[in-house]
Structure 1
Amino acid sequence: MTRVTVLGAGVAGLCVAQELACRGAQVTVIDPAGAPGPGACSWWAGGMLAPFCEGEVAEPEVVDLGRTAAAWWCAAGADVTDAGTLVLALSRDRAELDRFARRTQGHRWLDRAGIAGLEPALAERFDRALFFDTEAHLAPRATLTGLRDRLAARGVAFLTEGAPEGTVIDCRGLAARDRLADLRGVRGEMAVLRAPGLGLARPVRLLHPRHPLYLVPRGDDVYMLGATQIEGDGRGPATLRAVVELLNAAYAIHPAFAEAEVLEIGADARPAFPDNMPRVLRAGGRLHVNGLYRHGFLLAPALARQAADMVLTQEGT
């Protein structure tokens, strides 16, 4: 039996542990926090499994790798909602919607009636939208906690410290800069709101030339609102400017957000390489899975498969 130690219990580490455990490896996960939580940037993620939308700015490889993410998470026991993604723009930013359409695939145009059929609360405010009907989303915190618990139930050991044994797969995110010098941080900020009565069923992206925003339903009238992108690895509290921009954009989607309860405001830094593409690479006697950038839940399954292939192929040679 192949013995593997995974460093880090964020989305990358848990996906790697899942992939290896499913293939019969003996897996230990070491993370100082012991379990998924606020210390992992994936705790603050949107949870959108939206490869076609990401294709607006990401490389084609991101789209290709991300297409299988929803099926992987379903197979891993996660609660995945297949409701698609709705992309909107204010009337003054209509050119942004046209530009988004040119740069992406997998969508269809909706008029006001089409928007009303999907999100009645938005039909009076928008008369034109893009709908990516094959995309999905999940709740990151419940997904991470559930995956960790299922892995523990099948025999994966979770430790807060200890010497790694066997093959070491480093999934520590920004903490791995002690071994990956070109890794950098990209800060993001988010807010969790409760807005009773809106009833939005799917992620909504509002395009803006400077402050694009996404809104992801979490159930029970709760929505995750994000996210700024700022070069820097600061992991402290959100700034006033970021919060104001986020909340103003939410109000632009629907004025009911003016009365929303602000349940939580958070910030963290995502690990990225210079080209914003993830890596599975060998360095310093370890296999590294890192650089997921803003695509954690979307790309972690594909990278986990690559890492497992590399480990188990090496073991068999």
Structure 2
Amino acid sequence: MNKSKTEHYKIAIVGAGIMGRLLAWRLLCDGHKITLFDKDPVEQGDAAAFTAAGMLTPFSEIETAESLIFEMGMQSLTLWPDYIKQWQANVGYQNTGSLIVAHGSDRADLRRFNQRLFSQQNLKPLIQHYQCVSLNAQQLQQKDPELAERFDSATFLANEAWLSPTKVMAVLAEKLQQQNIQWHSNCFIQSLSGNKVNTSSQSYSFDKVFDCRGIGAKSDWSTLRAVRGEIIKLYAPEVSIKHLVRLMHPRYRLYLVPQPEHHYLIGATQLETESCAAITVRSCLELLSAAYSLHSGFAEANLIDSRVNVRPALNDNLPKVLTKNSLIRINGLFRHGFLLAPAIAEEISYWLQHNKTNKFATLFCEDK
């Protein structure tokens, strides 16, 4: 591993979701000594990452997200291939792009999306570079024939990507442990104070402590809230859609993520609740009806799995890094964990090396 010429710290990372694991890897590459703490086993757990779709879609987020999400997402889109190359592992990475579609009654939403995407002067070089284009019926037929059966237009966002969250989490666990980091799994955290991690059995001291517990840090971050997400996994042998699809809808933006051998993840729900109870009948009906509206082959699909989890969000739905001496709290990634984690890890790496921010100064805030 390449190590930069910088002061090396003894660092604790509390929380082994996607932010915690990716930050551990990034800082390990800088030569820091890393210790991970997590309440779950290494192989599985309640982290939101295990219930994510793994979408890397910054252009698709332009309609509803702040510019910071887009800018950080664009950086992460370039960083993910570098990580995958370092790991030399299969994480289910696909970058064949996204297709945004809408049924006739919802075409006004697609027009608004296109207007916002294509009218921003500052985005035109990126739009041209990443080949974001509107497709007519003939072009959609060439791009994804099975979608052309029900739609006569689409917006194609080339180079948007997705990966398998479960594979990424497993690979990160394997690679981190190969580097002999200390990993305290099944570990209950009583408190974080200054440079100390206090567990139910022992107190540990570090140069820096990073709190990456997501919603698990709610007792220490009063404005943190839980947003429930639900996804369904289908096996649909009659469907061969190859691109990530977003379907415009009056209440939500449904996404369909292709997986190997005719498996698909479908999701969209975003509910303001801390409940992790099983998926509701209403959500199930909405998601499955939307899937069928994309392709009739979903009528004979098998429902393989349904998963529910809550994502950590702040009032403005933007991520934040709170710093107070040796304790740094990273949270609020909302539904953008895999999209934002690489950019945040890169920013933290720079901040530790140079004692100043790099590209995203608004990400940081002093915890008073």
Query: If the length of structure 1 is used for normalisation, what is the TM-score?
Result: 0.94
Preserved CA contact (<8 Å) 1:9 1:34: no
Q: Which moved more, 1:127-136 or 1:65-74?
A: 65-74
Aligned to 2:221: 180
Unaligned runs of 5+ in 2: 1-7, 85-90, 119-126, 188-198, 357-368
Alpha-carbon distance in structure 2 between the residues aligned to 1:38 and 1:208: 32
Question: 1:68 is paired with a residue of what secondary structure?
Answer: helix
Aligned to 1:229: 270
| Residue 150 (str. 1) matches residue 157 (str. 2) | no
Q: Which moved more, 1:275-284 or 1:250-259?
A: 275-284
Superposed CA offset, 1:193-213 (max 9, x none): 010132222210000111320
Alpha-carbon distance in structure 2 between the residues aligned to 1:122 and 1:156: 47
Preserved CA contact (<8 Å) 1:179 1:283: no
Aligned to 1:238: 279
Taking structure 1 as reference, are residues 23 and 285 closer, same or farther at Cα in structure 2, changes over 3 Å only? closer
Aligned to 1:252: 293
| Residue 114 (str. 1) matches residue 135 (str. 2) | no
Aligned to 2:50: 43
Taking structure 1 as reference, are residues 111 and 21 closer, same or farther at Cα in structure 2, changes over 3 Å only? same
Instruction: Tell me by how many angstroms 1:146 deviates.
Output: 0.9
Unaligned runs of 5+ in 1: none
Preserved CA contact (<8 Å) 1:85 1:205: yes
| Residue 129 (str. 1) matches residue 154 (str. 2) | yes
Instruction: Tell me by how many angstroms 1:285 deviates.
Output: 5.3
Superposed CA offset, 1:70-128 (max 9, x none): 33222222442111100000112111110111222532111122112221111111100
Taking structure 1 as reference, are residues 181 and 233 closer, same or farther at Cα in structure 2, changes over 3 Å only? same
Superposed CA offset, 1:219-276 (max 9, x none): 1111110020111221221111111111111111111111111011111111000000
Alpha-carbon distance in structure 2 between the residues aligned to 1:40 and 1:72: 22
| Residue 80 (str. 1) matches residue 93 (str. 2) | yes
Q: Tell me which of 334, 343, 361 is aligned to 1:293.
A: 334
Cα RMSD, aligned residues only:
1.7
| Residue 70 (str. 1) matches residue 77 (str. 2) | yes
Aligned to 2:14: 7
Instruction: Tell me by how many angstroms 1:313 deviates.
Output: 4.0
Superposed CA offset, 1:121-167 (max 9, x none): 11111100000012111111111111221121122222112544411
Preserved CA contact (<8 Å) 1:34 1:158: no
Instruction: Tell me by how many angstroms 1:284 deviates.
Output: 8.5
Preserved CA contact (<8 Å) 2:58 2:160: yes
Preserved CA contact (<8 Å) 2:238 2:298: no
Instruction: Tell me by how many angstroms 1:173 deviates.
Output: 0.4
Aligned to 1:262: 303
Instruction: Tell me by how many angstroms 1:307 deviates.
Output: 2.3
Query: If the length of structure 2 is used for normalisation, what is the TM-score?
Result: 0.82
Alpha-carbon distance in structure 1 between the residues aligned to 2:43 and 2:69: 25
Taking structure 1 as reference, are residues 38 and 216 closer, same or farther at Cα in structure 2, changes over 3 Å only? farther
Preserved CA contact (<8 Å) 1:235 1:268: yes
Instruction: Tell me by how many angstroms 1:34 deviates.
Output: 2.7
Alpha-carbon distance in structure 1 between the residues aligned to 2:243 and 2:172: 23
User: Could you tell me which amino acid in structure 2 is paired with residue 102 of structure 1?
Assistant: Q
Aligned to 2:65: 58
Alpha-carbon distance in structure 1 between the residues aligned to 2:326 and 2:219: 13
Alpha-carbon distance in structure 2 between the residues aligned to 1:164 and 1:49: 36
Alpha-carbon distance in structure 2 between the residues aligned to 1:284 and 1:24: 21
Taking structure 1 as reference, are residues 21 and 65 closer, same or farther at Cα in structure 2, changes over 3 Å only? same
User: Could you tell me which amino acid in structure 1 is paired with residue 42 of structure 2?
Assistant: A
Aligned to 2:190: none
Alpha-carbon distance in structure 2 between the residues aligned to 1:314 and 1:269: 33
Aligned to 2:352: 311
Q: Tell me which of 107, 113, 116 is aligned to 1:103.
A: 116
User: Could you tell me which amino acid in structure 2 is paired with residue 289 of structure 1?
Assistant: I
Q: Which moved more, 1:126-135 or 1:155-164?
A: 155-164
User: Could you tell me which amino acid in structure 1 is paired with residue 74 of structure 2?
Assistant: R
Larger-gyration structure (1/2) = 2
Taking structure 1 as reference, are residues 268 and 245 closer, same or farther at Cα in structure 2, changes over 3 Å only? same
Question: 1:6 is paired with a residue of what secondary structure?
Answer: strand
Taking structure 1 as reference, are residues 179 and 311 closer, same or farther at Cα in structure 2, changes over 3 Å only? farther
Aligned to 2:362: none
